[in-house]
Amino acid sequence: MASKQESNAKKSTTTKKTKAKVSKKKVTKKKVITKKRVAKKTMSKRSARASISPRERYEMIATMAYYRAEQRNFESGHDVEDWLECESIIDSMLGK
């Protein structure tokens, strides 16, 4: 009886070896990203004014005044003058 079980065990091991499982590669779909084209709007002076917040205007003036002071090596006594000049320039650019 033992010989029958041994022969059955040998057959099952040999059949397992011959039946190799073939695994399929997983194919992932590539996402195609498309950009939507948006028509550019031309901004008039009125819409430019509406899109700039008071905080942004302040920061623009402060930045411009800083660079002017830097060109002068930060000499004292010109800070108010720089601020007022930059304020008028920024306001004219924004259309105020």
Which amino acid belongs to residue 44?
S
E strand or H helix at 92: helix 79-94
pLDDT digits (tens, 9 = 90+) for 18-40: 566 666 777 777 676 766 665 55
Q: How far apart are CA 79 and CA 64, in angstroms?
A: 12
pTM score above 0.75: no
Question: What pLDDT was estimated at residue 93?
Answer: 92
Q: How far apart are CA 53 and CA 50, in angstroms?
A: 7
